[in-house]
Chain A
């Protein structure tokens, strides 16, 4: 019987015999940030086990609230910082060199085809864009990962979602994933891995694939996975060139993690995106999705462009392309947060930051900040935000505030109009 991507990865990483359906797998990387890691560190210290399994496989960033906004967040940073120093963890990214974890770590080449990765963060599924098995876990799993380099998972079952058809102009990976979640529901893939495949995914940049995989967890999935191909190799090349004689050789070695033709899936879903329109969420659940034009005219107080979903250079370019030479509505606060320092730098060089500022946007440093209602753009009760992030939960960006999830393009059009619109619109 053939195997899926996740099954192949599990079979090369298994430690010991499975316990019923539970498999213990060896980890290639453990990612850490300052919100979920300090409690794990404190617990390890309390247990007299302040050790790490392999400092070279632990990657650490301070990203959620950066710079610290108060003494408590400063303490979280301090605990993480001194732990990383104590254990000589080289890949530690502090303010000035940091970025939102799921944008930063791929940039550094830390996610690779066939890897097993955990992090105390639900959007760890993003790294599946590289053909890795990457799963968000809680603090206890993280703690054991740090200490022992292993994690327990149920043997993965997979769903294959084939994205087919002709993606219309002005419609993006964000619209595709919103439409997928709208279709299968917030628990449509619970306990499962989603393999995203098909010609539309094959044609996507790594950035777009990350947007796609980023929101797999919004359908309950353990991980979203794209198949490694030349796009993957080219993105990673500067980090892997010393390991392979040529890109072709790298691709050949990654191909062992492609699924077998006769792999068994719980479901194979064909998702035709021909005729797909820009999407937006309308409730407090990410599967409450409709074409953005059906929300046309919904006034917004803030437009937020950023996060691990849509804060990458490709996203900023799309939004800036729309904003160029225009001003955002006076009734809107525009906030843009480039996802990493290098994206920020590149956006300055390309004139993108200038465009945002000319349009009336506030540009913040890289941080999660407003995405989880922590800093840099928290909403007031009763306010409405059109946001390129991934969660519209009640209270997510501020108690009593409403979030509409949209693509960077729809966010830009909305900022100009002052109300939700997927295109230039004059009332």
Chain B
């Protein structure tokens, strides 16, 4: 299983699309590692610097409809090779969400009110998330505060996370 704990990168915007996560001009790469420097290069978000803001971050917390647009699995891969295995959002585009679990990574949805609270309390501060998968709990922590937030994950998705992704799972079952 992958690592789902670490420092948070807050992206306070809805509808962040896959072209922003990894622009099409890098789709000519034939290895996942080659995508590393380009994660979020085209993100339009006030004050965001893709060269420096991602460093040291392992979890993304964002708003609604994250990962909309193209089917490119390069988007989760670009996250993966940068050590980001967990994205927490109000909602995800279908293909992106499926791609995350297919790679053994997690795309976790939280209700809007809960996310609003997290943005208010934690965004702009160094925040750490610990994912307790067995207990279905996320622990948010900064210098001032700690919050434990429950989450749900479908049995099938949890199996993909446990087995390391869909290829392993499908090969064992079909």
Contact = CB atoms under 8 A, between A and B. Distances in A.
A42 B154 CA distance: 30
A28 interface: no
B73 A72 contact: no
Contacts of B76: 138
Given A147-B171, A150-B170, A395-B23, A141 B15 contact: no
A20 B68 contact: no
Contact of A70 (B15, B24, B28): B28
A383 B148 CA distance: 47
B68 A187 contact: yes
B109 to A, nearest CB: 11
Contact of A73 (B17, B28, B95, B98): B28
Contacts of B112: none
B89 to A, nearest CB: 11
Contact of B30 (A75, A138, A140, A148): A75
Given A284-B44, A374-B25, A395-B20, A138 B65 contact: no
B165 interface: yes
B145 interface: no
Interface stretch (A31-39, A170-178, A351-359): A31-39
Interface residues of A, number: 56
Given A138-B98, A147-B170, A393-B17, A187 B28 contact: no
Contacts of B17: 393
A394 B44 contact: yes
Contacts of A124: 71
The interface centre, meaning the residue of B32, B159, B167 with most chain A CB atoms within 10 A of its CB, is B167
A230 B13 CA distance: 46
B79 to A, nearest CB: 13
Interface of B: 15, 17, 19-20, 23-25, 27-32, 42, 44, 64-65, 68-73, 76, 91, 93-96, 98-99, 102-103, 154-156, 159, 165-167, 170-171, 174
Interface of A: 15-16, 19-22, 24, 35-36, 38-39, 42-43, 47, 49, 64-65, 70, 72-73, 75-76, 79, 120-122, 124, 136-141, 143-144, 147-148, 150, 152, 186-187, 190-191, 220, 222, 284-285, 372-374, 391, 393-396, 399
